[in-house]
């Protein structure tokens, strides 16, 4: 769509400074911009971000086309001015959608939208060229970005749509305009935005006002009621249910049905009830769209579990691996490259890529486009796997090596070190073998950390801040046991103001990994003061002797943060000492006080509110004294996570976010936080034991009736306390509680799985949503901080992003 057409569609003001470019790519993050002539930068506004603040950066990349809500100083650029840029984006996508007449499937529901979309796309690709939503792009922003990818080479589209409040679905309906719909289910997700489940179902069903048919499971009666309410034409399906329009009769792995004189017989190897439901949604849609049983069966046979997310893992030789090995198409490659670009800039970026199958493009044009993507994302080198990449290797303008197979690549043992590696491949190529080869740890126990949950929690706390209040985030103690480098990089990407660590080695590691944010260190060994300026680090100074030593050994001192004692009685200057502090600072004008802070002892405790107020008053008094004497005002900060919510009058110039980022509010003041991590392991073995047998060390586990006992691969060396043994805790296996039996061992724990129908290799949830870290803390009579920070360094960390 050319610039002049965009202006006409949006009825926008146009400040013409560039030529009538043909817009193909939409960009809303300046860090993902490539500067190509066909890009349009959309300056989106939100509660805590405004894309208009990054226009200069976007312009510097070479972008010359901008969608704005106010005029800006952007030389030689097209400025399209509209009242609301998100609404304008949706209008553009809606216009783009109307230019294509092939079938469009819209998917909504509380759960499984992405899985159904991915599986349906796989089934449909046996016959047609498919365009689909990348990842979980189902929001007010994600949907128009997805629909914009439609082009004339596609033959069918599959898009998902999600809402969190009343009034949102009408916007997405205008963008997607589905000709067929799938309503997966209705559940508790985003329940706070609706009066009840019936209202939420009806709101979601608004997506299908243009659909000729909507597929749903008959037993989901609330979904059927919502479709009936809107008088949408619908086709129900179910299993062993004659009332459903399409009734699957199942015998073993064989699924049979007849509908409108046509018969379908399939072999489905999946056994999990959720997987079956998701797959049959996709099967029914593909069948009604005109795929043959043979094509559908071929698609089913190629299906694999959908990770639905990018996984960032630590690799050997100081590498990080971005694991995206479940599919490979241009759309997904672009998304993964955008994510890769967010990683620390100092590291080399390598892409390991398989041939791209079934793209619908002529191979030379396809790999020229891949070359452009790699160049624009500043990829250092390409390692290709597959005959097509070997044949077209000459098209790549970055260093490249290609191999026929994954095994050939592994036998060549290329060197990897100090780099971030994107591994992206079509399933047939088996690039997961490369990931396993590169991974740092092969321990079966994994701490899975969800970046979206961290971003959500960060946003929750930012909503409490007054305009201009800065945010320091604590990443000490290995970022509360999660992973310092990865969390710090995410925080840098989301533009927090300061990071706080406990020790110098933590800070140096952050600098070495590419973190540029200001860093405050709480406990610096005096003998290492001279390293502070080398790495641009700001120390906490808490005593006169420490301040004097710092001034003696640091001729070019970094700015400092003065800790004031107000009642915690741990570290800090007493008020009476501040006159001497002032004298020292005035005698050494080269040193700047960047911040003055204190630590409230009981900000989370309502019964101690009087004491907290006393601390606040003492702190204000000390800050006033220092500011008057120094003739400038250092940053003042006092409150921690609980205080951010409970004590807005003490936000001052900056707040200090710690455990709240990781999903815990010790004050109980908010229910909006999300758990960020899940500790997972596997069943190693299951034994059938008779009554009278015992389990584990000291024979503490007594078997009173014939039982099945599973050994799971986690023990106290992994951070799973011995206090959890002997039935004091449970784990979750396939959604079922399994209580511990016997003592927890160093590397293993035993749980009772009698009657649970589980097997060796099944996934075990040690903590997550259920049981939660708060549950484990209660069982062991401690606090969530200790549970989280106790997770051993030998446990593999995997960082996932939708």
Give percent of the chain with pLDDT exceeding 70: 96
pLDDT range class, residue 109, cuts 50, 70, 90: very high
If one counts every other C-beta atom within 10 angstroms of the C-beta of residue 166, the result is: 15
Distance CA 744, CA 493 (A): 40
In the DSSP assignment, the letter for residue 356 is: P
Q: C-alpha dihedral over 525, 529, 531, 534, to 10 degrees?
A: 140
Asked if the model's pLDDT at residue 187 lies above 70, the reply is no
Closest CA to 258 of 279, 242, 234: 242
> How are the residues of the chain apportioned to helix, strand and coil, as percentages rounded to the nearest 5?
35, 25, 40
pLDDT range class, residue 336, cuts 50, 70, 90: confident
Quickly tell me which residue has 């490369």 as its tokens: 434
Closest CA to 296 of 436, 123, 76, 502: 123
User: How is residue 98 written in tokens?
Assistant: 């109307």
Q: Domain-by-domain residue ranges, the chain? A: 3-84, 100-302, 310-438, 449-662, 677-801
Distance CA 662, CA 61 (A): 35
Asked if the model's pLDDT at residue 218 lies above 70, the reply is yes
Could you read off the pLDDT of 345-357 as tens digits, one per residue? Answer: 557 999 999 998 7
Distance CA 557, CA 593 (A): 11
Distance CA 141, CA 7 (A): 20
Element (H, E) at 778: helix 773-779
Higher pLDDT, 513 or 91: 91
Distance CA 335, CA 244 (A): 39
Does 746 show up as a binding residue in the annotation? yes
If one counts every other C-beta atom within 10 angstroms of the C-beta of residue 271, the result is: 8
Distance CA 354, CA 404 (A): 10
pLDDT at 478: 80
User: pTM of the entire structure?
Assistant: 0.67
Element (H, E) at 335: helix 330-341
pLDDT at 189: 44
The region that residue 507 occupies, defined by phi over 0 for left and psi between -120 and 50 for alpha, beta otherwise, is alpha
Residues 6+ apart with CB under 8 A from 360: 129, 153, 154
What is the number of residues in the chain?
802
Could you confirm whether domain 449-662 is CATH 3.20.20.10?
yes
Contact 308, 448 (CB under 8 A): no
Does 256 show up as a binding residue in the annotation? no
Residue 645 has φ and ψ, to the nearest 5°, of: -85, -45
Asked if the model's pLDDT at residue 192 lies above 70, the reply is no
Closest CA to 214 of 242, 245, 190, 187: 245
Could you read off the pLDDT of 374-397 as tens digits, one per residue? Answer: 998 889 999 999 999 999 999 999
The CATH H-level (homologous superfamily) assignment of domain 3-84 is MurE/MurF, N-terminal domain (3.40.1390.10)
pLDDT at 650: 96
pLDDT at 359: 67
CATH of 100-302, one of 1.10.150.20, 3.30.2130.10, 3.40.1190.10, 3.80.10.10: 3.40.1190.10
Largest Cα–Cα distance of the chain, in whole Å? Answer: 95
In the DSSP assignment, the letter for residue 703 is: -
Distance CA 21, CA 112 (A): 39
Contact 126, 300 (CB under 8 A): no
Kindly state the average pLDDT of the residues 114-128: 94
Kindly state the average pLDDT of the residues 749-763: 94
Residue 317 has φ and ψ, to the nearest 5°, of: 60, 40
Could you read off the pLDDT of 447-470 as tens digits, one per residue? Answer: 999 988 898 899 899 989 988 899
Closest CA to 281 of 373, 181, 192: 181
Asked if the model's pLDDT at residue 188 lies above 70, the reply is no
Q: Output the average pLDDT for the chain.
A: 91
Domain 100-302 and domain 677-801 have a common topology:
no
Q: C-alpha dihedral over 577, 583, 586, 588, to 10 degrees?
A: -90
If one counts every other C-beta atom within 10 angstroms of the C-beta of residue 631, the result is: 7
Give the bridge partners for 313, in sequence order: 321, 798
Give percent of the chain with pLDDT exceeding 90: 73
The CATH H-level (homologous superfamily) assignment of domain 310-438 is Mur ligase, C-terminal domain (3.90.190.20)
User: How far does Cα 731 stand from its chain's mean position?
Assistant: 24
pLDDT at 649: 96
Whole-number Cα distances in Å, 274 to 280, 297, 299: 10, 19, 18
Closest CA to 97 of 142, 136, 151, 163: 151
CB environment 112-121: b (16+ within 10 A), e (fewer): bbbbbbbbbb
Element (H, E) at 15: strand 13-15
If one counts every other C-beta atom within 10 angstroms of the C-beta of residue 187, the result is: 13
Kindly state the average pLDDT of the residues 542-546: 96
In the DSSP assignment, the letter for residue 466 is: P
Distance CA 304, CA 297 (A): 14
Could you read off the pLDDT of 603-644 as tens digits, one per residue? Answer: 999 999 999 999 999 999 999 999 999 999 999 999 999 999
pLDDT at 48: 58
* Residues with catalytic roles: 476, 697
Residues 6+ apart with CB under 8 A from 343: 320, 322, 349, 420, 489
Closest CA to 422 of 484, 338, 512: 338
Contact 66, 74 (CB under 8 A): yes
Distance CA 27, CA 786 (A): 42
Higher pLDDT, 187 or 270: 270
CATH of 677-801, one of 2.40.37.10, 3.30.70.20, 1.10.3720.10, 3.40.470.10: 2.40.37.10
Could you read off the pLDDT of 255-285 as tens digits, one per residue? Answer: 999 999 999 999 998 776 778 999 999 999 9
In the DSSP assignment, the letter for residue 22 is: B
Asked if the model's pLDDT at residue 329 lies above 70, the reply is yes
Could you read off the pLDDT of 411-438 as tens digits, one per residue? Answer: 998 999 889 999 998 777 889 899 989 9
Distance CA 337, CA 422 (A): 8
Alpha helices, DSSP H only, in 558-712?
578-587, 609-630, 641-646
């Amino acid at each position: 769509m050319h610039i002049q057409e965009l202006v006409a569609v949006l009825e926008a003001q146009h400040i013409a400074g560039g030529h009538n470019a043909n817009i193909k790519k939409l960009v809303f993050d300046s860090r993902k911009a490539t500067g190509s002539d066909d890009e349009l930068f959309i300056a989106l506004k939100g509660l805590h971000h405004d894309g208009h603040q990054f226009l200069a950066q976007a312009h510097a990349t070479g972008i010359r086309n901008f969608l704005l809500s106010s005029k800006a100083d952007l030389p030689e650029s097209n400025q399209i001015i509209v009242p609301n840029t998100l609404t304008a984006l949706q209008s553009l996508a809606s216009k783009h959608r109307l230019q294509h007449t092939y079938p469009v499937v819209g998917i909504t529901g509380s759960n499984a939208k992405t899985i159904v979309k991915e599986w349906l796309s796989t089934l449909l690709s046996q016959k047609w060229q498919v365009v689909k939503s990348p990842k979980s792009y189902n929001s007010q922003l994600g949907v128009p970005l997805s629909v914009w990818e439609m082009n004339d080479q596609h033959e069918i589209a599959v898009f998902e749509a999600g809402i969190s409040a009343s009034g949102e679905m009408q916007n997405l309906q205008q963008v997607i305009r589905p000709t067929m719909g799938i309503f997966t289910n209705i559940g508790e997700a985003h329940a706070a935005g609706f009066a009840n489940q019936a209202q939420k179902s009806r709101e979601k069903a608004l997506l299908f006002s243009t659909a000729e048919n909507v597929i749903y499971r008959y037993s989901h009666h609330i979904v059927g009621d919502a479709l009936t309410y809107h008088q949408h034409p619908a086709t129900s399906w179910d299993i062993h249910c004659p009332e459903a329009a399409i009734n699957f009769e199942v015998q073993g792995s064989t699924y049979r049905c007849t509908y409108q004189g046509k018969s379908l017989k399939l072999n489905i190897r999946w056994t999990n009830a959720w997987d079956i439901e998701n797959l049959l949604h996709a099967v029914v849609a593909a069948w009604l769209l005109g795929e043959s049983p043979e094509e559908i069966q071929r698609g089913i046979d190629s299906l694999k579990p959908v990770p639905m997310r990018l996984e960032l893992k630590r690799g050997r030789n100081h590498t990080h691996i971005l694991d995206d090995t479940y599919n490979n198409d241009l759309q997904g490659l672009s998304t993964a490259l955008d994510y890769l670009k967010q990683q620390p800039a100092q590291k080399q970026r390598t892409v390991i890529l398989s041939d791209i199958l079934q793209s619908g493009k002529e191979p030379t044009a396809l790999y020229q486009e891949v070359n452009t993507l790699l160049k624009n994302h500043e990829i250092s080198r390409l390692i290709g796997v597959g005959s097509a990449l070997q044949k077209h290797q000459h098209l790549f303008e970055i260093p490249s090596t290609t191999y026929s197979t994954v095994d050939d690549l592994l036998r060549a043992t290329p060197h990897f070190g100090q780099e971030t590696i994107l591994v992206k491949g079509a399933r047939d190529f088996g690039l997961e073998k490369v990931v396993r080869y590169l991974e740092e740890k092969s321990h079966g126990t994994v701490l899975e950390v969800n970046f979206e949950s961290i971003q959500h929690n960060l946003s929750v706390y930012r909503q409490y801040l007054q305009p201009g209040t800065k945010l320091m985030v604590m990443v000490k103690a290995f970022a509360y046991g999660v992973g310092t480098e990865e969390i710090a990089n995410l925080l840098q990407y989301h533009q927090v103001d300061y990071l706080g660590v406990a020790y110098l080695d933590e800070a140096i590691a952050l600098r070495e990994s590419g973190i540029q944010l200001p860093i405050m260190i709480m406990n610096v060994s005096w003998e290492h003061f001279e390293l502070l300026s080398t790495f641009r680090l700001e120390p906490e100074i808490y005593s006169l002797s420490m301040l004097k030593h710092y001034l003696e050994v640091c001729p070019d001192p970094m700015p400092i943060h003065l800790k004031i004692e107000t009642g915690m009685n741990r570290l800090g200057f007493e008020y009476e000492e501040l006159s001497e502090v002032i004298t020292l600072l005035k005698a050494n004008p080269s040193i700047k006080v960047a911040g003055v802070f204190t630590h409230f002892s009981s900000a989370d405790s309502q019964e101690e509110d009087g004491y907290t107020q006393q601390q606040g008053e003492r702190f204000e008094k000390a800050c006033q004294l220092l500011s008057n004497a120094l003739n400038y005002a250092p940053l003042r900060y006092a409150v921690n996570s609980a205080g951010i919510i409970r004590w807005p009058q003490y936000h001052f110039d900056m707040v200090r976010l710690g455990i709240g980022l990781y999903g815990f509010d010790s004050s109980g003041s908010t229910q909006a936080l999300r758990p960020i991590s899940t500790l997972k392991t596997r069943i190693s073995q299951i034994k059938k034991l008779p009554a009278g047998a015992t389990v584990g060390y000291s024979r503490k586990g007594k078997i009173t009736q014939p039982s099945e006992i599973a050994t799971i691969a986690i023990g106290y060396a992994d951070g799973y306390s011995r206090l959890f043994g002997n039935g004091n805790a449970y784990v979750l296996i396939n959604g079922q509680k399994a209580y511990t039996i016997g003592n927890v061992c160093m590397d293993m724990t035993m749980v009772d799985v009698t009657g649970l129908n589980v097997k060796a290799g099944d996934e075990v949830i040690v903590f997550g949503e259920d049981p939660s870290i708060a549950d484990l803390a209660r069982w062991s009579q401690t606090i969530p901080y200790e549970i989280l920070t106790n997770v051993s360094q030998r446990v593999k960390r995997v960082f996932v992003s939708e």
